[in-house]
Amino acid sequence: MTNVLREHSCRHNRGMSSTSITFSQVGIVGTGAMGRGIAQIAAQAGSKVCLFDTNPEAAAAAQKQIEQQWQKLAEKGKIDAAKVAQWSALLKPVTTLGDLSSCDLVIEAIVERLDVKRELFAQLETIVESTAVLVTNTSSLSVTAIAANLKSAHRFAGYHFFNPVPLMKVVEVIAGLKTDAVTCERLTQYAREMGHTPVTAQDTPGFIVNHAGRGYNTEALRILNEGVTDIVTIDRILRDQVGFKLGPFELMDLTGLDVSHPVMESIYNQYYQEPRYRPSVIAAQRVAGGVFGRKTSEGFYQYDNGVQQVPEEQPVPQVDNIPPVWVSTRAARRAELYQLLKDLGARVETGQSPSAEALTLVAPLGFDVTTVAVVERLDPARTIGIDMLIDDAATKRRVLATNPATRTDYRDAAHALFARDGKKVSVIRDSGGFVTQRVVATIVNIASDICQQGVCSPKDLETAVTLGLGYPMGPLAMGNLWGPTNVLEVLFNMQTVYGDTRYRPSPWLRRRGAIGLSLMHEEE
């Protein structure tokens, strides 16, 4: 690290960086968790980086911490010592905002308050040159609102990174109402130079990632609120059937409800109480009680010295005589279900209606087991539902649902039968759309509406969600894989069961699902 370099202002060091880089000198205002991460990748791209923070120690502390990160990478053999020295020479803590005067890009990552951010940019506008670009890393405020009083709002945009910045390799480039195209293009180019994948979003609540992420947690909380099953079963089903790395309750515990519940409330309210984003009283009560998650050693799970305590799986009941099985003529994936039953060694009835002793299987999309039993005139005491939205071969768990009249001997017989080949089985109470159908359909519906609103392109949506939320696939790919028409049917039927406009299908999904078109299909 060269002390000589640190003694000069950012302006004096201009000649050091590469000429091909989009922004050769970058100012970071606010050097907390986000500012540090952004500074790190900006220096790695070859920009000189000035660090400013109102807390006098923060900028120097950020410099030290970033240099330690590079040292660690060098110790692991990922970079060499020369690289550490080269990058370290690009970092420079400064003591006044005026020291950022020669920066051609200033990125703000300060406290999340509209008045404070507005005041900062009003000052910065008078400090930097007229060609410099100004950006905010806000995650919940409107980019347009922050820029409202600026004289040169055309060169102001949002640059929304995720924590930890060096590892979360996606950034949302957000155009405010007055942002010009050149500013967004330059930011997009620079994101690539920093090794990140840029996605372009309109200035709407939650932008892409925080908007698309509304479905997972809110629907899981509704399922819990309805008493369909317990926390650990919901998490297991979504991990094993869909491939999410963390169940929604594990995820909320990790993030902390003190962070995720206010985001749920903020997006819901910014969209004028749109039912699709409705938060849960369960989360509100836990926040009020200080039960946040891992950070408080108590959340949806208990933590013993930081280790999550996980309840046992539901035991498979011992059943000696499994009755013959009859499958509803309207079951989803009926042929596949038949084959599965044969493979499991079940006695399968082939008559038009079930015999007097038959275990009656239904496999609805969106409807609950009760409704199907009544509509199909089946004996509810012997009727069990199975979620067949997803190909049985593609899932690690089967999910069965009872109805309020199901006899325990028939429930246990079904559980034992479907566990015969060793696959995990969860038995839940009645639910329009089981667990997976509800959550998947809600995610796909919200993603579809993001496309309908033109918040971003379908391609950018998929990229942002996969990289920003770590979903096993993009939500539109999820809809395509399990069938836009099926997902549409799930939503229509859930809306019938619950009478809740939360489940009304977005026109994007409604039209593509009706025609049987890919959800990625954009109109000419």
Show Cβ contacts of residue 415 under 8 Å, excluding neighbours closer than 6 positions. 314, 316, 317, 319, 400, 425, 427
CA distance 520 to 85: 46
**By CB under 6 A, is residue 120 in contact with ligand NAI?**
yes
**Between β-strands 383-386 and 397-401, what pairing exists: parallel, antiparallel or unpaired?**
antiparallel
Tell me the DSSP string of 310-331: -PPPPPPP--S-PPPEEE-TT-
Q: Is 31 in the site for ligand NAI (CB under 6 A)?
A: yes
**112 counts as binding ligand NAI under rule CB under 6 A:** yes
Half-sphere exposure in the Cβ direction for 162 (13 Å, CA): 23
Residue (21 or 51) nearer to ligand NAI, CB? 51
Q: Does 22 bind ligand NAI (CB under 6 A)?
A: no
* 137 contacts ligand NAI (rule: CB under 6 A): yes
475, 213 Cβ separation under 8 angstroms: no
CB of 54 to ligand NAI, least distance (A): 4
Distance of CA 297 to the CA centre of its chain: 23
Residues 1, 111, 177, 374: which binds ligand NAI (CB under 6 A)? 111
Which is it for the CA torsion 63, 64, 69, 70, positive or negative? positive
Segment lying near ligand NAI (by CB under 6 A), choices 26-34, 39-47, 194-202, 302-310: 26-34
Residue 84 backbone dihedrals phi, psi, to 5 degrees: -60, -45
Which segment (160-168, 244-252, 405-413, 426-434) binds ligand NAI by CB under 6 A? 160-168
- Of positions 126, 163, 453, 501, contacts ligand NAI by CB under 6 A: 163
DSSP state of 238: I
Decide if 210 is catalytic. Answer: yes
Residue bearing tokens 């996605």: 199
Catalytic residue among 108, 172, 250, 462: 172
Q: Which residue is nearest to ligand NAI (CB)?
A: 32
- In sequence order, what are the beta bridge partners of 359? 325
Residue 55 touching ligand NAI (CB under 6 A) = yes
3-class DSSP assignment, residue 270: helix
Interface of this chain with ligand NAI, residues 385 to 424, rule: CB under 6 A: none
Q: Which is nearer to ligand NAI, 55 or 302 (CB)?
A: 55
By CB under 6 A, residue 260 contacts ligand NAI = no
* C-beta of 75 vs 112, nearer to ligand NAI: 112
Selected range binding ligand NAI among 159-167, 241-249, 317-325, 435-443, rule: CB under 6 A: 159-167
Closest CA to 161 of 27, 266, 35, 270: 35
Task: Rule CB under 6 A: say whether 13 interacts with ligand NAI.
Answer: no
Binding site for ligand NAI (CB under 6 A): 29-35, 53-55, 58, 109-112, 116, 120, 137-139, 161-163
